[in-house]
Amino acid sequence: MLIADKKADLAGPGIGSYEEIEQILPRDYQSLLSRKDTQRAIRAGKRFIEDHLCEALKLMMVEVPLIVDKHSGVNDYLDRDGSRTPVEFFISNDRGKNPIEAQVVQAATKWKRVALKQFEMQPGEGLLTDMRAVRKDYFLDHDHSAYVDQWDWELAITDKERNLAFLTDVVKKIWKVLKDTETYLLKEFPQLKDKRYPELPEELTFIHAEDLLARYPDLPRKQREMRILQEYPAVFIYGIGWTLADGYPHEMRAPDYDDWVTETISKDGRPMHGLNGDILVWNPVTKRRHELSSMGVRVNAQTLRQQLEITGQLDFLKLPYHQAIINKELPLSIGGGIGQSRVLMLLLRKAH
């Protein structure tokens, strides 16, 4: 495989052009639900997921901002190369006395950790948000939009819980909520039962990005994901962001929220890296990979500095958010985002 293919595949949806999208999406697709029932199912699914996520992870629902101060450092840049920039605008506040350079959030990842402190969350307590964002630089396809809706969650943890076993336990709890939601929606809307579209498996298959590369060394990462999902229809891929054996990360990740640098040990004793990962499933409607969630243990003072050094972004340490982590003023945490439209697209058997 050409090196250029791997470089091009480090970010983005994995469909190279709109012409390719046109060829890939099903032409004989018909919705199993009417427009009215679709809206009813969306509302029912959202309520079920929010209630059961809060119960499973001990979270409380909180409101989340749409706009943040550009200079606070809490907005999300999504990757490490600065190619996905936020929508910005100027607010002339108090007749020009306190002007604000504002940004529309791209995600609430860093804001949530600040909110844990503001809400005085103790280890084992956390928050869940119904987040809306704008990502103007996204390549748009059947499951990527410039308008983003996510359940963004964050849980305060102890230093001893910053490990792979704790991450895995949280992932399993989230997966159970998603699986239970499917069961609930199939009961409430039996027209969703269709032999063409098998139900989600009871359990996820867990695999490290390094092992996925070793399994399919000649494939770019999105094709590796496609291949593993044809064998195991629901997977969690650990260790996204660290440079793998081929010299490239599975995908570029920003250096200031997920911890992708911490060393871990595989079951057979090999050194690995990363306390984060993604839930991906096989979508039987679109016949493609379908990412549902990205999550991870968050950086501490040490790993933030390490990751910023690796990415050449140590200047971020001047920002208030990053200073708060370095000075240990923010809680240790684990958190993630679950795509609302993506989850419901999958569970309601939608092609777009």
Write out the chain's pLDDT in tens, 352 residues.
Answer: 444 454 445 445 455 555 665 666 677 788 999 999 999 999 999 999 999 999 999 999 999 888 888 887 777 766 655 677 888 888 887 667 778 888 888 888 889 999 999 999 999 999 999 988 888 877 666 777 788 899 999 999 999 999 999 999 999 999 999 999 999 999 999 999 999 999 999 999 999 999 999 999 999 999 999 999 999 999 999 999 999 999 999 999 999 999 999 999 998 999 999 999 999 999 999 999 999 999 999 999 999 999 999 999 999 999 999 999 999 999 999 999 999 999 999 999 998 7
Active-site residue among 106, 258, 278, 288? 278
Judge whether 132 counts as a catalytic residue.
Answer: no
pLDDT of residue 89: 85
Give residues with Cβ within 8 angstroms of 254, minimum separation 6: 76, 77, 78, 79, 80
β-bridge pairing 276-283 and 234-238? antiparallel
Judge whether 135 counts as a catalytic residue.
Answer: yes
Q: What is the mean pLDDT of the chain?
A: 90
pLDDT of residue 65: 87
Judge whether 333 counts as a catalytic residue.
Answer: no
pTM: 0.90
**For residue 127, which of 335, 351, 317, 294 has the smallest C-alpha distance?**
335
pLDDT of residue 265: 93
Measured distance CA(333)–CA(119) in Å, rounded: 14
Measured distance CA(127)–CA(61) in Å, rounded: 6
pLDDT of residue 9: 52
First vs last Cα of the chain: how many Å apart? 31
Active-site residue among 103, 106, 150, 340? 150
Measured distance CA(75)–CA(109) in Å, rounded: 8
Q: Which two tokens stand for residue 282?
A: 């096989």
Judge whether 83 counts as a catalytic residue.
Answer: no
Judge whether 31 counts as a catalytic residue.
Answer: no
Measured distance CA(282)–CA(228) in Å, rounded: 9
Active-site residue among 80, 113, 135, 342? 135
pLDDT of residue 132: 86
**For residue 199, which of 208, 187, 207 has the smallest C-alpha distance?**
187
How confident is the model over 137-146, as pLDDT tens digits? 776 667 777 8
DSSP string, 47-115: HHHHHHHHHHHTEEEE---SEEEGGGS-S--SSSSS-SPPPEEEE-GGGGTS-EEEEE-S--HHHHHHH
Active-site residue among 106, 251, 291, 307? 291
> How would you label 299-327 residue by residue, b for 16+ Cβ within 10 Å and e otherwise?
bbbebbbbbbebbebeebbeeebbebbee
pLDDT of residue 2: 47
pLDDT of residue 260: 98
* Helix 35-57 and helix 340-347, axial crossing angle in degrees, nearest 10: 120
Give the architecture (CATH level 2) of 3-10+30-63+121-347.
2-Layer Sandwich (3.30)
Judge whether 106 counts as a catalytic residue.
Answer: no
Could you tell me the residue ranges of all domains in the chain? 3-10+30-63+121-347
